Amino acid sequence: MAAPSDQTPLPLKGRVAIVTGGAGGIGSAISKHLASLGAHVVIGYVGDPTPAENLASAINATTGTTSGPPQAIAVATDVSNAAQVMSLFDAAMHAFGPDLHILVTAAGVIDADYPSIAETSEEMFDWMFGTNCKGTFLCCREAANRLVRGGGGRIITFSSSGVGSLRPGYGVYSGTKGAVEVMTKILARELKGTGITANAVAPGSIETPMFYAGKSVEDARKFMGEIPMGRLGLPEDVAPVVGFLASDAGAWVNAQVVRVNGGNV
């Protein structure tokens, strides 16, 4: 991420963005990209704090905020826990002031064994729905009550192109994402009059550790062969789409699902 010059327009300057899963494969690219557009970024993470803290430090070093108020902070958050989601928003307000502008719900999990529905345990179902669906709901509920109104408020959830491909082994995972799509579209309508938009981004096969988990080299080649663009997507292919939706340029895009998949429906 190149340091912006003083002459570079920063469409998100002064805005505050919360990114759950903000240190993950796609989430880290989003966090860096939003920061490059001028946003203050709150990196939500779960588990080992090192990647999130290193990412925040790198953003602050790149943007010249190694001293004084930071441009990025890392906050441990289990998105399936309502109290922790509230604390995430509280931490954002404590660090950057009362005006929160952008929520990106990039936190997500998948069963790397890719079981059929008949072979999926109740515990695995609860885990995936708890993070992917309930976690998105809790974050969206908080954002609907806390984001600035009158313009600049953006909610960007994460679905998956798997909702359309209906691939065996992804029944529960894609089910969580289908629920996210419907919830996002309804939320956009419920926020009528607030100036807050709500859209979902639905990546296809993206080159991240989550994509490769449980897959053989042959599996990965098969996925790649299905993509008209002839390659796997990169996190950096997804981040600019999120940046567009988060900016004023995306103000007229609302209640939509944007599939970022190289043409692999």
- CATH code: domain of residue 29: 3.40.50.720
CA–CA gap between residue 256 and residue 148 (Å, rounded):
21
Task: Give the chain as a 3 state SS string.
Answer: CCCCCCCCCCCCCCCEEEEECCCCHHHHHHHHHHHHCCCEEEEEECCCCHHHHHHHHHHHHHCCCCCCCCCEEEEECCCCCHHHHHHHHHHHHHHHCCCECEEEECCCCCCCCCCCHHHCCHHHHHHHHHHHHHHHHHHHHHHHHHECCCCCCEEEEECCCHHHHCCCCCHHHHHHHHHHHHHHHHHHHHCCCCCCEEEEEEECCECCHHHHCCCCHHHHHHHHHCCCCCCCECHHHHHHHHHHHHCHHHCCCCCCEEEECCCCC
CA angle 47, 51, 52 (to 5 degrees): 80
What is the four-CA torsion angle of 149, 98, 250, 85, rounded to 10 degrees?
Answer: -100
Note whether residue 155 is domain-resident: yes
The Cα–Cα gap between 61 and 63 comes to 6
* Residue 85 belongs to a domain: yes
> Which structural domain range is residue 225 located in?
16-63+73-260
Measured CA angle at 136 (ends 206, 183), to 5 deg: 100
The pLDDT of residue 3: 53
Catalytically active residues are: 173
pLDDT tens-place values along the chain, 265 residues long: 555 555 568 999 999 999 999 999 999 999 999 999 999 999 999 999 999 999 999 999 987 765 567 999 999 999 999 999 999 999 999 999 999 999 999 999 999 999 999 999 999 999 999 999 999 999 999 999 999 999 899 999 999 999 999 999 999 999 999 999 999 999 999 999 999 999 999 999 999 888 888 888 888 888 888 899 989 999 999 999 999 999 999 999 999 999 999 998 7
174 in a structural domain: yes
pTM of whole model > 0.75? yes
* Domain assignment present for 215: yes
Please indicate, yes or no, if residue 10 is contained in any of the structural domains. no
Largest Cα separation within the chain, whole Å, is 58
Alpha carbon dihedral 165, 171, 172, 176, in 10-degree steps, equals 30
d(CA 250, CA 231): 27
pLDDT number for residue 4: 53
Contact 201, 241 (CB under 8 A): yes
For residue 6, tell me if it sits in a domain: no
Question: How many domains does the structure of the chain reveal?
Answer: 1
Confirm whether 224 is domain-assigned.
Answer: yes
